[in-house]
Amino acid sequence: MSEENKAEKAGAAASVGTVGTIGAVTLGSSAATISGGLATAGSLIGGGMAAGVGVVAVAPLAVGGIVYGIFSLFDD
């Protein structure tokens, strides 16, 4: 298996893991809890709940990109 292929698989796995974690955290939560969490996430960039949706949506892509970059950086 090529080093590039390993980096791609690691990035994809990290993205899927992040999505799974976000899903597990919200499992069983009330609408008020989810809305509050999205509003808190949105406040990180100076917005509200709608901005929080964007922050939460970008998180798996960012984690996957970081893991891909780390694997590519330490490529033999």
Return the domain boundaries, the chain. 3-73
**CA 62, 65, 66 angle in degrees (round to 5)?**
85
Banded pLDDT at 76 (limits 50, 70, 90): low
pTM listed for this prediction:
0.65
More confident residue, 32 or 18: 32
Half-sphere exposure in the Cβ direction for 17 (13 Å, CA): 10
| Helix residue ranges, H only, the chain | 3-26, 31-43, 49-73
Q: Are 76 and 6 in contact (CB under 8 A)?
A: no
Burial class (CB in 10 A: 0-12, 13-18, 19+), 54: middle
